[in-house]
Structure 1
């Protein structure tokens, strides 16, 4: 509605001082238009700068978050540095209900904090302090529907993470994902080689056993099972080493 008053003020001001013939009509209509115009502009400036007609509200929300990494043995929160890598960051996480990545807002009004606790579920608690337009009265009548019904004063994000979670920059996380795939490929090749060697050794011990017979007496199955157990044992240690190396990588690509 304030925009309508502003438009009416402009029309009356222009029509009054330019289109009307007599002096008293020009001053009357033009003066009314000028008052409406100045009043509307004053109210808009006051609302924008001094938050006239608005009240402060504080809200708190807590939501579960999931690891960015798809690997079960790695719980990961990723960040992207903004200008100063140690103080200004955008954190990237995933919602438990899907694979869509979500990030915090890169604004001066937004602060982020990470806390480790002995908990089972990672959560994000957001405290938002904002100006909201009054829901009734003249201010709501004037400014309802106009951009700026809500203005954020501060938004504080607190990430509460289990102690086994890791935090890496986007560049470090990309390096880790690439190296993990390489190690996985090497482990697969080594596993196939170990299975082949197990069958070969069984046939060397008993030359009368054919390849088909070796499979039938479960040699290949046992070898496969043993390789999987060994790989599963090595996964935590291997991932721990990769994470240690990833943290030594540059925070950003130079």
Structure 2
């Protein structure tokens, strides 16, 4: 409507000054068309710069989160720092079947933060705000501009439990390299720990059967692995705080 009004008022102003330059009503017609033209342009600029006639509509979505990187016993959420490090692009997955990770947008109108919760299931809560026309009058007035549902802002809130580790991609790569480098040493330490416990158990009870010994070895191995995973998690948590 405004676009049509701008064109008609501009044409009307030109026609009056060309065809009716001697008419008595010319000043009043000039004033009328000029007011319509300036008013229409002002409303158009107000809508473009100040979003006149628009309201903000917020849409909230919830998605489950799964660990981004494959590290035994650890749920990881990764991010890539930007600029001075305060702005971050988060890298995440919403399904274990998902091969390629998703990323948040590197946009000044997009913000992301991490919240620690007591919920068992980690999730991503996304709030998206868009500009929509307040009512049918403004929809008619600004028809043809194509700015309904224009993007305003988006906020990502990663809600994760205490068992989740938040690391930068650089920190994660460093930890993965360290884990691979110490893998042989870790196996040797596990074998030594299990052997020592088995020797102590046999010394305390030499009458243990082969089946009992096998069961004890499985138990000791599982406990040693759990302890190693706990140590790894502690290292990851320390790294996430740096």
TM-score, normalized by length of structure 1? 0.60
Contact 1:65/1:123 (<8 A) preserved: yes
* Runs (5+) with no aligned partner, structure 2: 192-213
Q: How many residues align?
A: 209
**1:171 matched to 2:170:** yes
1:237–1:143 distance in 2 versus 1, CA, 3 Å: same
Contact 1:93/1:103 (<8 A) preserved: yes
Contact 1:81/1:88 (<8 A) preserved: yes
Offset, 1:187:
7.5
Offset, 1:147:
4.2
* Runs (5+) with no aligned partner, structure 1: 195-221, 250-254
Offset, 1:161:
0.6
Aligned to 1:78: 78
Aligned to 2:90: 91
Aligned to 1:51: 51
Q: Distance in 1 between matches of 2:157 and 2:236?
A: 24
Offset, 1:32:
6.8
Q: Is the partner of 1:80 in helix, strand or coil? A: strand
Say what the alpha-carbon RMSD is for the aligned residues: 4.2
Q: Is the partner of 2:131 in helix, strand or coil? A: strand
Q: Is the partner of 1:40 in helix, strand or coil? A: helix
Q: Distance in 2 between matches of 1:64 and 1:104?
A: 15
Contact 2:129/2:152 (<8 A) preserved: yes
Contact 1:173/1:246 (<8 A) preserved: no
Offset, 1:81:
2.5
Offset, 1:33:
6.1
Q: Distance in 1 between matches of 2:152 and 2:101?
A: 25
Contact 2:68/2:93 (<8 A) preserved: yes
Q: Is the partner of 1:23 in helix, strand or coil? A: coil
Q: Distance in 2 between matches of 1:59 and 1:98?
A: 25
Offset, 1:47:
1.3
Contact 1:175/1:246 (<8 A) preserved: no
1:53–1:113 distance in 2 versus 1, CA, 3 Å: same
Offset, 1:43:
1.4
Contact 1:179/1:242 (<8 A) preserved: no
Aligned to 2:42: 42
Q: Compare 107-116 and 90-99 and name the one that shifted more.
A: 107-116
Offset, 1:4:
4.5
